Structure 1
């Protein structure tokens, strides 16, 4: 306790004791984008620092003394700020713009390798977030266009990475871990992602082999940084889907940005095969505030409130399926409704303290509270028939003959209340000041408390021709309607549970990074370790405590090849995923406290090849070809099934699994001045449950091809087009949730989707209005149209299984996703 008081005293008294002043800011390029790894030094002194991934720097200088500050790097022209005097306790902000310096040696451009490239991290240009069309536009929309990342539901922001599931991905905002709702079971209920694209400053994504500083998950890391405004700004993005708006500003040492979003998914829900009264409305407010107390101490606040409401009253539907020779139709008439409510409140404080130029300490606390309600009673009366296939007839598609009838009642009263509290400390120290690139030692400790209160009430009753269909269990041998069954009636599916679970976690990591040269070859390496101890406690079981320790490492080399710009990477280690609440709850809704952490040995080898392509006009356009191969060996696997976007775990550790594949991405200026890319991924992942043999996992998406393209009309450069297209082979699935996966290894049809956006740009960073025009007040202004699913391809998310008791067979009726939809869009930013 005495040491804690000493640290707090140092933090809050540092401004009074300091004899130094501070200069800080963000270094930008000609396109107003932040530049990483720019050296900032005090002329005539050894004092110096460099910009981080967001272009931000902070340098301590003598107070009340005339000094010169030098900004320089291998890639940009040097700038010297001369004869500056800064008072003690009053930080001076300076945001220089540096011009690119290009050195050509036999047509090869020599540039400095960023930390992200060495670490195998994909960096996405924030401007693309608002430009690229998608049903759920934003960060996740672009992530899904990368190789190795897949999702077969355009209404969802969730994604799978290299054979993992939705729960295996880490998401951070400014080093603060964020969570997704628990009870959401379909993409149309999901609403808004917690990531607000209007607030984003940088997007970094790792599909595997990530460092020890990141948490314990098996698949990926999405690391988001929100920006700190330099001046006043505001914007609005309005369409038929809703409105996004933001306002930002800076006053003295205070910066703030506030984003408000409203979304209505009726445009997509009403266009599906089911005729329904649907009110899917989602709202959230998000803010990021910072205050610079003095030259060393800064406090930031991240807050989010999300209120998502989904009301659904189905009326009737008709789904035609089968072939022309064997056409069938399912007609359903509904009674009842579904009312879902998801309310989330999230707040986090982050304090950053610079002890000196080389040592930074950060203290983070966050609270996440979600209250979720899922209530439904829906009675579906169905009949299966033969539709009219006479193409020239007036009754084409209408059902002429009914072959089976039945009904199904689905009931649910699910309520969940979750409170998650985090306390965390992270530190970074630069070591070996003699080197140009200082080594980094990073550490962190984290305490988490999870309090989950969950009430589950679900049942399904199926009836065909007046006879109740029993659960598919061996003790329910049923030969109705030809032989009577005298046992009591039982629901086909029945889940009832009350869970009150508390989980306490202690996490820690330590890692060391170094960058230098091996001869003339530039090298980078990182090594680190993590520990994770968790205790699961509840009213109905004894407390269970487990601990795991893992190690991770990375190495990269950029050979000094005169005519070829290549970078080689190798990373991997041991990765654990201790169970979260969802992974502790089995199919019956019961909590199994002794579920082990899933374990994965992960190896990734990658290569970056940067080159120029010369067009017919003699223009040199930059391109990069990134290739990665990977292998995962998984043990203590917690098997699961996927229903739309809801994952149901068996809460066991009885499986082994593996995943391997290759990802290729070519990005560059296919059209001059615009960035586009083509992604190709191959994946194979299988699991062995109870030594019964290997079968495909639910995420075994074998092949993916994605194409993200930007273009403009040469004679009318204000007219721009954006195409987002993806093809993926079918996933295993569509089988009943109760089925033995060894009996059902069917695959859904292949997924194909193309979204097109066309915008007429009045103003942006390259297109400026005439001097004196009223358009001059805008930083960006555009009006356009979007066509989602332009080829109107019928994608399936799963199958609805209906029974024909007379024949004893089950029919798989496809559950289809959104058809072609048209949207108008206005973007205005000041």
Structure 2
């Protein structure tokens, strides 16, 4: 089995013994040393019933993962924040947007599903090879297996639908004594159809474009890998009105809003990276890697609105049933925003892999990363009702010469700038030994952050043992540190930007039990993990849709304890299915009191089924069900979050029919039904005030409604 040693980009045989369940469409493996890593070989994601056309839609169905916005590529893992997840494509760390407030503003995921050959995901307890994040790592390898492409040939794949189109190409050639592989992917997407199912009516304009190119060349001693990516997305809305009903069964409130103005969001990202590996001798390899990325995000808004809040008549015997019984309040709302964030990162690293003998391997690496970031925050919100925002000043009505000298009292005002300049150094060494009944992996990772001046030494260990009857037991744990991004250094309460804030740090402890077995001639793989995560240095944050707002850079304590279960099988040959179930509790200590963290969903369940019609192997059906608990929320920037949102529930269906067309390798028609049950899930809350009583109301911002999609995929 080949394993890419991440961050250092080394490709070499490992000494682990994989247990493999081979499926026609996917392959799920469990390595003994890294048994916490879920590996899925995704040859094709067509017809997968993924609303956002993203690979992350598969990740959110794994145990320990929660995501409550189907259009976003962000997800939370075991009570952590979005910023605690590491994404690697071909061993290169990839940047994710940070200013977007919702999934409808986000463009394309950084992962191109047409190029994916293999996914590796760890929800915690990963080795020193994977870098520096607190919660999880997702590693993606692009491979020609995604095309079923024999060596020496070329192939095109085209998929077009009602809201997204994709073009991909793979080909081989020989040059200068090297055999080269090229993978090219181009994507275009619009969320406009999803946005039309939202409560807010208006003129939506949404588009995103993405180009990715991977090139690999290899000879007997050299292996070269180059990867480049360019992304662009734009979102704008000229809202006209919004009507939202919320409340309880016995008391339903209706918010009617009339709006004018415009809001927009833009995102551009460019990345390039190169890695070269040289084989010194059999089992000994050196690798050097360099990458550069630059991203720019901009958000602007000038939206004026007038709202009416009324109580709906719920009397079934009344002629006015469904009408407003009485108005609770009214007011004006004006939101202004001019927010910008720019980031540049340069990375260079060197590493080595050495096979000491048939039982032992040694891996080492060292690297440098230079981070530069600029953050400009300028937004305010004004509430008004008959002069509510104007300070009281005693004056006569007949005093026509009076001139006000006091400022307007705004409901919210945020204005600040921040600059991040950081040099990060890291080094690691990992030793693996294999025995007859088990394996052990021990590593040390050293991390230095010039911004805070800290040095952090992180030990990590993984032990596994094979038991009888296909049972295996493993223990993993260690220390995990995370350097801060621009977003993490902004304190939204006092608008300070603490560039010298300490690194966040956590301890992981995990025990896992797994078994491979068969029932009714079907292969099954079951795994259970119990874990504890203690964060001795964590930043408090609140979650506003997909936007994270950090509430201070003074470290606090946090803890997560939970259990994950997952079961994999295949209903028919080549159709993979799995079930995931998670229970956990995530809390943090604020003002000497333990309270729920912003990502404390408590429980999550997901089911993914791939099946085919009897005696019709060319007709496939995909079912994806997700359920998770509600997230805690409260007034914006408040310390306590005493309320809990409604649970997230969603059912997506996909149908695929293969057509036999002469001259084409594969032609299929795909019909997808997103949110089939038309459940109104809540993404975030919009807070309004009844000026007359000063009462505040949390109005839910609902996610997309039911939507149908039809697409055609052709390979030739």
Contact 1:654-1:689 within 8 A present in 2 as well: no
- Matched with 1:662 is 563
The alignment status of 1:609 with 2:486, answered yes or no, reads no
* Deviation of 1:792 (Å): 0.6
Does the CA-based 8 Å contact 2:18-2:31 persist in structure 1? no
Show the counterpart of 2:401.
none
Whether the 8 Å CA contact 2:47–2:672 is kept in 1: the answer is: no
Task: Check conservation: 1:272, 1:819, Cα contact below 8 A.
Answer: yes
Is 1:250 the counterpart of 2:166? The answer is no
SS at match of 1:218: coil
> What do the CA deviations read for 1:502-550 (whole angstroms, capped 9, x no partner)?
1111111111112221xxx2x11101111111122xxxxxxx4222111
**Which residue of structure 1 lines up, in the alignment, with residue 397 of structure 2?**
none
1:754 to 627, 651, 654: 651
Larger fraction in strand: 2
Match of 1:6 in 2: none
Instruction: Work out whether 1:579 is the aligned partner of 2:487.
Output: no
The residue that corresponds to 2:524 in the other structure is 623
> Offset at 1:442?
0.8
- Aligned equivalent of 1:710, options 587, 595, 610: 610
Tell me which of 155, 166, 171 is aligned to 1:233: 155
Per the alignment, in what secondary structure is the counterpart of residue 126 of structure 1? Answer: coil
Equivalence for 1:723: 623
Partner of 1:450: 371
Partners of 1:326 and 1:817 lie apart in 2 by 22
Q: How does 1:13-412 map to 2 (within 5 A)?
A: 36=1, 115=31, 118-127=34-43, 129-228=45-144, 230=151, 231-252=153-174, 253-292=179-218, 294-389=219-314, 397-399=322-324, 401-412=326-337
Whole-angstrom distance in 2 between the partners of 1:51 and 1:412: 43
Q: Residue 74 and residue 558 in structure 1: after superposition, are their counterparts in 2 closer, same or farther (change >3 A)?
A: closer
Larger Rg: 1
Give secondary structure in 2 for the equivalent of 1:180: coil
> Using a 3 Å threshold, how does the CA distance of structure 1 residues 220 and 645 change in structure 2: closer, same or farther?
same
Contact 2:32 2:464 in 1 (8 A): no
* Residue 552, structure 1, aligned to residue 460, structure 2: yes
Distance 1:722 1:75, change over 3 A: closer
Cα contact 2:569–2:576 (8 A) shared by 1: yes
Pick aligned residue for 2:424 from 475, 483, 505 = 505
Structure 1 residue 670: Cα displacement: 3.1
TM-score, normalising length: structure 1: 0.79
Which deviates the most, 278-287 or 233-242?
A: 233-242
Residue deviations 1:66-121, cap 9 Å, x none? xxxxxxx9999xxxxxxxxxxxxxxxxxxxxxx99xxxxxxxxxx99853674321
Q: Aligned pair in 2 of structure 1 residues 452, 52: CA closer, same or farther (>3 Å)?
A: closer
Q: 800-809 vs 747-756, which deviates more?
A: 800-809
> Is residue 528 from structure 1 mapped to residue 443 from structure 2 by the alignment?
yes
Matches of 1:324 and 1:583 in 2, distance apart?
40
Give the equivalent residue in structure 2 for 1:652.
Answer: 553
Question: Do structure 1's residue 428 and structure 2's residue 347 form an aligned pair?
Answer: no
Distance 1:430 1:776, change over 3 A: farther
Matched, 1:460 2:359: no
Deviation at 1:58, TM superposition (A): 9.1
CA contact (8 A) 1:802 1:812 kept: yes
Q: Partner residue of 1:86?
A: none
Alignment equivalent of 1:414, drawn from 315, 324, 339? 339
Residue 304 of structure 1: how far off its partner (Å): 0.5
1:84 corresponds to which residue? none
8 Å contact 1:173–1:225 — kept in the other structure?
yes
Match in the other structure for 2:637: 738
2:378 is the alignment partner of 1:439: no
Contact 1:116-1:123 within 8 A present in 2 as well: no
Task: Give, in whole Å, the separation in 2 of the partners of 1:281 and 1:565.
Answer: 50
Contact 2:18 2:29 in 1 (8 A): no
The 1:197–1:469 alpha-carbon spacing in structure 2 relative to 1, beyond 3 Å, is farther
Determine the C-alpha separation between the residues in 2 that align with 1:156 and 1:611.
Answer: 36
In terms of mean alpha carbon deviation, does 721-730 or 410-419 score higher?
410-419
1:590 shift after superposition? 3.0
- The answer (yes or no) to whether the contact 2:481–2:503 under 8 Å persists in 1 is yes
Deviation of 1:728 after TM superposition, in Å, equals: 0.8
Structure 1 residues 597-647: Cα deviation after superposition (integer angstroms, max 9, x where no partner):
112111011011111102xxxxx1100111000001111211111111111
State the alpha-carbon separation in 1 of the partners of residues 211 and 46 from structure 2: 18
Gaps of 5+ in 1: 1-35, 38-49, 60-72, 77-98, 101-110, 471-475, 477-484, 537-543, 615-619, 763-768, 770-774
Q: 2:588 aligns with which of 673, 684, 687?
A: 687
CA contact (8 A) 2:682 2:703 kept: yes
Q: In 2 relative to 1, CA 463–52 (structure 1 residues): closer, same or farther, beyond 3 Å?
A: closer
Distance change >3 Å, CA 579–CA 273, structure 1 → 2: same
After superposing the two structures, state which structure 1 stretch, 458-467 or 390-399, moved more.
390-399
Alignment size in residue pairs: 684
Given that 1:335 and 1:378 are in contact with CA atoms closer than 8 Å, whether structure 2 keeps it comes out as yes
How far does residue 370 in structure 1 lie from its aligned partner after superposition? Answer: 0.9
| Unaligned ranges ≥5, structure 2 | 393-403
**Would the alpha carbon gap of residues 241 and 51 (structure 1) be closer, same or farther in structure 2, given more than 3 Å must change?**
closer
Partner of 1:697: 597
The equivalent residue for 2:400 is none
* Residues 175 and 332 of structure 1, relative CA distance in 2, 3 Å threshold: same
| Rounded Cα–Cα distance in structure 2 between residues aligned with 1:469 and 1:185 | 30
- For the 8 Å contact 1:202–1:224, the answer to whether it is kept is yes
Q: Secondary structure at 2:193's aligned position in 1?
A: helix
How far apart, CA to CA, are the structure 2 residues paired with 1:236 and 1:498?
A: 44
Distance, in Å, in 2 between the alignment partners of 1:373 and 1:801 is 24
- CA drift at 1:415: 2.0
SS in 1 for 2:80: coil
User: Distance in 2 between the 1:419 and 1:315 partners?
Assistant: 37
Give 1:677 shift: 0.9
Deviations 1:700-729 (A, max 9, x none): 111111110112210433222100101111
Give me the whole-angstrom Cα distance separating, in 2, the residues matched to 1:52 and 1:113.
Answer: 17
CA contact (8 A) 2:33 2:440 kept: no
Determine helix, strand or coil for the equivalent of 1:385. Answer: strand
Higher RCO (C-alpha 8 Å, min separation 6): 2
Q: 1:85 — aligned with what?
A: none
Separation in 2 of the partners of 1:705 and 1:683? 12
RMSD (CA atoms): 2.7
Change (3 A) 1:74 1:757: closer
Which residue in the other structure is 2:398 paired with?
none
CA–CA distance in structure 1, aligned partners of residues 510 and 682 of structure 2:
32
